[in-house]
Amino acid sequence: MAVVEVNDVRKTFPGPQGQTVTAVDGVSLSVEAGECLGVIGESGSGKSTLGRLVLRLMEPDSGSIVLEGEDVLALSRRELRRRRRRWQIVFQEPFASLNPRLTIRQIVEEPLIVSKMYKTRAERWKKVARTLEEVGLSGEFLDRRPANLSGGQQQRVGIARALVTDPTLMVLDEPTSSLDLTIRASILALLADLRLSRGLTYIFISHDIETVRHFCSRVLVMRRGKFVEIGTSRQVLTEPREPYTQALMSAAMPPVPYESAAARRDSGREAVSHIQVGNP
């Protein structure tokens, strides 16, 4: 069953001197339950705008967006807030996406308050603690603030904030691009394990070709807001049909393997995953 169905979506913004800038131009896609769809393209290709349109964090000019059978564009603001707990996003810059005045407990609790999932604070705090443990952060982090955390820890908080409402769909907008290679590998391994353990559906937005090749089952290529090609990771990134995709591939950095927690559990020893991450 398709979790995401996007048809002919278009988004423009006002440009300089009265011109119109087209960020997304007639893009269509579908994502099946449990799938990880990668969206790649150079800076300014419209991939991040597309991710926000899917979740209706931006309003499209035209087109249709259906999530889990719901016509998202037909929902009222109130209905959208209620359903959005099932559709979450992890942003590129972890520190910029976290309120520096709040504790980690408060940051992760906030979506639970908005969605009214639990009646009492005690229930919410218990859920927050469990979710932080799931992303590798112990109870000692609950009362810290974002400035007291490393970049990788901040991104784990961002992931926990998205997970705490038990979503089915997550848009991952360049979730590791601001992190160094070692931390990037651990975050990717965490995301891979969460997708398997929770049955999550991902839209993974990235400019890192090699990460997308090994992390995603299918790939959508965008250029200047337009659809270029789509297919399995093997098809698109091993034998690209379009010259633009070929150019992206020629500029891609060689991959570096990273450890997956799932691989370690399966083998019972330290192992190197088949998933890899490109150099930063």
**Per-residue pLDDT tens over the stretch 117-168:** 898 999 999 999 999 999 999 999 999 999 999 999 999 999 999 999 999 9
Cα 265 to Cα 262: distance, rounded to the nearest angstrom: 5
- For residues 4, 34, 252, 246, the Cα torsion angle rounded to the nearest 10 degrees is -60
Q: How confident is the model at residue 86 (pLDDT cuts 50, 70, 90)?
A: very high
Q: Residue 259 has what pLDDT?
A: 52
Q: Where are the alpha helices (DSSP H) in the chain?
A: 47-54, 77-83, 104-115, 121-134, 151-163, 181-198, 209-215, 233-238, 243-251, 261-267
* pLDDT tens, position by position, 209-218: 888 988 999 9
Backbone angles phi, psi at 169, to 5 degrees: -125, 135
pLDDT value at position 174?
93
Rounded CA-CA distance 213/231 in Å is: 11
State how far the Cα of 274 lies from the Cα of 260, in Å rounded to an integer.
Answer: 9
pLDDT of 265: 44
**SS3 (DSSP) at 114:** helix
Q: Could you tell me the domains of the chain?
A: 2-86+167-251 (3.40.50.300), 99-166 (no CATH)
- Side chain identity at residue 201, one-letter code: T
- pLDDT at position 255: 52
Strands 70-71 and 218-223: unpaired
- pLDDT for position 97: 87
- Looking at residue 146, what is its pLDDT? 96
